[in-house]
Amino acid sequence: MFEGFETARIDVGEASVFVRFGGSGPPVVLLHGHPRTSATWHRVAPLLVRAGHTVVCPDLRGYGRSRGPRFTADHAGYSKRAVAGDVVAVMRHLGHRRFALAGHDRGGAVALRLTLDHPEAVSRVAFADCLPLTEHLSRITAEFATQWWHWFFFAQPDIPERVITVDPVAWYHGDPEVMGRENYDEWRRATSDPEVVRAMLEDYRAGLTVDRRHEEADRAAGARIACPTLVLWSLRDDLEDLYGDPRAIWRRWATDVRGHGIDSGHHVAEEAPEELASALTDFLRPDRDGLGERAR
């Protein structure tokens, strides 16, 4: 995986971030979701390098080979604000003060927080298979609770750790044929580590507490994303089924929203890498700000 890329472990204060980076040209950061690592981008990252970008793929705080602070009752050490700060620090360490950003799933929540907290750092942002956390929570239905029950299970103290660590491979359902063998092996090592499992649960616990409060404060203050925003969703996932056109919801948060669906299941970087890379490459071209009606 990641032929020609370098790896590093970067100390950003209270966290140590494992990162892959390669290529040259305008930088773009790819943020993975749960329960993946940066290896989920192994088919997309080389395509973006080929298109002329520097590509940076970190493991989010506590995921994969990144490590965060001790766990606390308020979950603040694993808040999206804390993780977004990691990404900014990593990029500055690598020499990039401004960059494009793409986040999938839980990585999308980090991308939102980073863009709102550090607007000067983000030139463009792409969200894949995600909405702001509060938009999900304000639309809870029986269908949402049935399909996304894990959000509320993960938020319980102690019980999820005890259940998941009995057989993490069975719990997380990885498929080496779909994921690619090296990606699968890395994912399996990570999800078999009880410390990683606990950190991933802290991500969800923060989501329902401190992250929710941060987003509610943003809405009350009228905060909006000013940079160009791309919204992508997997047509064989449930986001559109639950909410309709995700772009309509993201327009409550961003001024310039474009995007479309991709024929894929949820883990789009693994299942439809060419389509995802093509959408990102097109969006990252500076001359694409005047896109036509399809993209709007």
DSSP state of 173: T
* Residue 266 known to be catalytic: yes
Is the pLDDT at 5 greater than 90? The verdict is yes
The pairing of beta strand 229-234 with beta strand 122-128: parallel
Question: One-letter amino acid identity for 147?
Answer: Q
Confidence of residue 296 (pLDDT cuts 50, 70, 90): very low
CATH number 3.30.360.10 is the correct assignment for the domain at 6-288: no
Rg of the chain taking only CA atoms, in angstroms: 18
* Residue 203 known to be catalytic: no
Specify the pLDDT at position 294.
31
pTM: 0.95
Question: pLDDT over 90 for what percent of the chain?
Answer: 92
Chain segment 25-39, per-residue pLDDT in tens: 999 999 999 999 999
Hey, where are the domains in the chain? Answer: 6-288
Could you list the beta-strand ranges (E) of the chain.
6-11, 16-23, 27-31, 54-58, 99-104, 122-128, 229-234, 257-262
Lowest mean pLDDT among 61-65, 147-151, 227-231, 246-250: 147-151
Is the pLDDT at 295 greater than 60? The verdict is no
Nearest Cα to 228, choosing from 76, 125, 132?
125
Specify the pLDDT at position 287.
66
Q: Which of 117, 118, 266, 282 is catalytic?
A: 266
Chain segment 213-247, per-residue pLDDT in tens: 999 999 999 999 999 999 999 999 999 999 999 99
Q: Which of 59, 86, 105, 218 is catalytic?
A: 105
- Region of residue 273 (phi > 0: left; psi between -120 and 50: alpha; otherwise: beta): alpha
Specify the pLDDT at position 288.
60
Sheet holding 54-58, edge to edge: 6-11, 16-23, 54-58, 27-31, 99-104, 122-128, 229-234, 257-262
In this prediction, residues 79-89 reach a mean pLDDT of: 98
